[in-house]
Amino acid sequence: MNAWGKMLKEHDIEFLYHIHGYEFKLFDGKTGFDIFIEHINTEYVKLEIDVYWVAAGGVDAVAFVEKYGHLSPSIHFKDCVDTKDLVDTEVGDGCIDMLKVAQVGIKNNAEWFIVEQEQFNKPSIESAQISAKNLTEIRNKAANTTSHI
């Protein structure tokens, strides 16, 4: 990944690794993510944090974004009803503190806030509209409160 990231950077393209939750399995007392982060050159390899999959891996999504958000120019705002069953829901209607995620993203100059949802209890276009409205409100509130974090 370091070699790919270096090559891409030479062409002004960022290499991002998307978190999917399985990175938090333990290997001899370390998580796969710990091993990964120790071996990447963050000049060439950045993260694309997906807060849903961080939560699916058993890690506090907000704490993770606070620790590694400076390496994530884009953040996937994927919400869940609860962190036990991990059923998707519209952004801002679930259990992940999306306001705090947005505040950290803004503080770290994230370029993209990406909505992702794969499971729907209503028509997908309606869910997309709800998530877009909620994320806009969350982003606006975060932008007004970021200087306080």
In SS3 terms, 70-114 reads as HHCCEEEECEECCCCCCCEECCCCCCCCHHHHHHHHHHCCCCEEE
Q: What is the domain extent for residue 126? A: 2-148
| Cβ–Cβ < 8 Å for 17, 46 | yes
Q: Are 25 and 15 in contact (CB under 8 A)?
A: no
Mean pLDDT, residues 127-146? 94
Residue with tokens 């999504």: 61
Token pair for 122: 């209503």
Q: In percent, how much of the chain has pLDDT > 90?
A: 92
Which residues sit opposite 17 in a β-bridge?
Answer: 47
CA distance 77 to 140: 15
Whether residue 148 is predicted with pLDDT greater than 60 in this model: the reply is no
pLDDT of residue 147: 59
Instruction: Tell me the pLDDT tens digit for each residue of 56-78.
Output: 999 999 999 999 999 999 999 99
Q: How many helices (H) and strands (E) does the chain have?
A: 6, 8
The enclosing domain of 56 has a CATH number of 3.20.20.150
pLDDT digits (tens, 9 = 90+) for 73-129: 999 999 999 888 889 999 999 999 999 999 999 999 999 999 999 999 999 999 999
